[in-house]
Chains A and B, each alone.
Chain A
Amino acid sequence: MDKRGEEDLWMILAYVLIILAAATVLIYWISNSANGKIVKDEVAVKQAALLIDSARPGSTIFIDQNVSVSGSNVKSGASEYQFFSKGRVSSRPVSGGTEIIIS
Chain B
Amino acid sequence: MSRGEVLSESILLFWRMMLVAALVVVIALSVGQIFAAKQDIRVSESALLSKGILECLAPEGKINADFDAGKCFALDPKEYFVKAYARSLDSNFNRTSVFGLEAIKTDCDIASKIGLSDFKNAPVCFGQNAYVLIVNGTKIERGTIEIESGINKLKANK
Residues of B within 8 A of A (CB): 1, 9, 13, 16-17, 20-21, 24, 27-28, 31-32, 34-36, 38-39, 41, 44-45, 48-49, 52, 56, 72-76, 79-80, 153, 156
Contacts and interface: CB of A to CB of B under 8 A. Distances in A.
B35 A39 contact: yes
Interface of A: 3-4, 7, 11, 15, 18-19, 22, 25-26, 29-30, 33-34, 38-39, 42-43, 46, 49-50, 53-54, 72, 80-82, 84-86
A102 to B, nearest CB: 12
Prevailing SS type, chain A contact patch: helix
A96 B79 CA distance: 33
Given A11-B9, A39-B35, A43-B39, A26 B28 contact: yes
A84 B39 contact: no
Contacts of B27: 26, 30
